[in-house]
Amino acid sequence: MPRRLLSFLTLLLSASLAFAANPTDRKWVASWVSAQQLVEPHNLPPAPGLADRTLRQIIQPSLAGNRLRLAFSNAYGEAPVRITAVHVARSAGGSAIVADTDTALTFNGSPSVTILPGTMMFTDDVAFDVAPFVNLAVSIHIADIPQNITGHPGSRTGSFIVPGDAVAAADFTDAVRTERWYLLASLEVFADARSSAIVVIGDSITDGRGSTTDQNNRWPNLLARRLHANPSTANISVLNQGAGGGRVLRDGLGTSALGRFDRDVIAIPGVRWLIIFEGVNDLGTAVGARANGQPHATAADLIAAYQQMITRAHAHGIKVIGATIMAFAGFTSYDTPESEADRQAVNDWIRHSGAFDGVIDFDAITRDPENPSRLSAAVDGGDHLHPSADGYRLMADAIDLSLFHR
């Protein structure tokens, strides 16, 4: 073989091996999500609604990246949503933004998009430095929106509405404030290749009922901060797919966990772990079902549903962590001997079956040691079902971070 050809082939092989060893050092990972629901009448936007209005929503990412893209959902709408402009900027508090970070986003190169019923649309990606726990303001001008609005009522975060197209305004004057998210489904970042995500699928306890408005002190937020502070888990986002009133088996205030599993877990980029912390509403609403002679969720039904989710997650290389169902004695509509017996049976299976890749024993962490069917006073938010802000911190602080070591 001629020497020049041999040298060329050697150089080509070396370059190919170098590329194969390190084809890229970055990938897309979700940094923030919200579980999409059909917004109930009492959670709809304040009058006169969102048509020809600018909506500025505040979100808090948990993973850094140097590019971003956003997803908007019309999953439950019966007519198209038409958005004519979208901007993202760092939040300066309230409805104000850091003006020199304001960045326009596009959809296939256009500032506007029509989102058909039952669908979701992503923006084009754009250069933007996203920092963990630094709030972003997402401003959208909505031209048309259906009566059936897709969103997330349990934002526990202020959003701001003004007339017309004001997406680039440094601040709003006389804005209408609402504590809801509408249409905005996720923020994804182009992150370090070592990055990954934890999805939490849950109900109002994960959604943060009882947490402090605008403080992002739900237990998944607090877990994200602990992970970020720990060098071996610093590149992991925590994605809160909690939905108030949610159930595993049957639709409640929103789609069941089984029904939304592919959308809210499998389709999210970068997911390496899933925490399943849902089931209390299946057991609790079964009290009313028994009284009305309707089918109700048993412990066996709930266990079978968990097994289905484990199988589906494992098929996509996602490890699954089971969280035990917390005590609810004293929450009158759920509190019966039958529902407590089912809770104990489910928790025993979560702890001892070996079906999960790991267990978070929220029941043991939060129960009253003198009366294990009740929440402890240090956790109870007052209704004997939902924790307080201090209770959420206790829950997050008790989670063993080694569950998320690679």
Q: What is the secondary structure of 154-201 as a DSSP string?
A: T--S-EEEEES--TT-SS-SSPEEES-EESEEEEEEEEETT-EEEEEE
- For the chain, the helix, strand and coil percentages under 3-state DSSP, each to the nearest 5: 30, 30, 40
- State both tokens at 189: 């970042």
C-beta atoms surrounding 384 within 10 Å: 16
CA dist., res. 141 & res. 164, Å (int) = 7
pLDDT of residue 35: 98
Checking if the pLDDT of 258 tops 80, the result is yes
Tens-place pLDDT, residues 101-121: 999 999 999 999 999 999 999
Tens-place pLDDT, residues 185-215: 999 999 999 999 999 999 999 999 999 999 9
Checking if the pLDDT of 49 tops 50, the result is yes
Reported for 123-126, long-range contacts at CB under 8 A and 24+ positions apart, including other chains, are: 123/69, 123/70, 123/71, 123/72, 123/86, 124/69, 125/67, 125/68, 125/69, 125/190, 126/67, 126/68, 126/69
pLDDT of residue 290: 61
CA dist., res. 214 & res. 217, Å (int) = 8
pLDDT of residue 21: 38
Give bridge partners of residue 28 from the DSSP assignment: 190
pTM of the model: 0.92
**Model confidence band, residue 294 (pLDDT cutoffs 50, 70, 90):** low
Q: Residue 294: which H helix or E strand, with range?
A: none
Mean pLDDT on 132-157: 97
Rounded to the nearest 5°, which phi and psi values hold at 323? Answer: -115, 130
**Model confidence band, residue 333 (pLDDT cutoffs 50, 70, 90):** confident
Q: Look at residues 275, 63, 54 and name the one whose alpha carbon lies nearest to residue 187.
A: 63
Cβ(47)–Cβ(140) under 8 Å?
Answer: no
Tens-place pLDDT, residues 148-187: 999 999 999 999 999 999 999 999 999 999 999 999 999 9
CA dist., res. 217 & res. 209, Å (int) = 10
- State both tokens at 77: 């709408």
**Model confidence band, residue 16 (pLDDT cutoffs 50, 70, 90):** very low
Question: Which value, in Å, is the radius of gyration of the alpha carbons in the chain?
Answer: 23
Q: What is the mean pLDDT of the chain?
A: 93
Checking if the pLDDT of 271 tops 80, the result is yes
pLDDT of residue 298: 92
Give bridge partners of residue 142 from the DSSP assignment: 53, 83
Checking if the pLDDT of 23 tops 50, the result is no
pLDDT of residue 295: 72
Checking if the pLDDT of 2 tops 70, the result is no
- State both tokens at 70: 């956003």
pLDDT of residue 253: 84
C-beta atoms surrounding 164 within 10 Å: 10
CA dist., res. 54 & res. 160, Å (int) = 8
Going from the C-alpha of 13 to that of each of 7, 25, 358, 380, the distances in angstroms are 10, 21, 43, 64
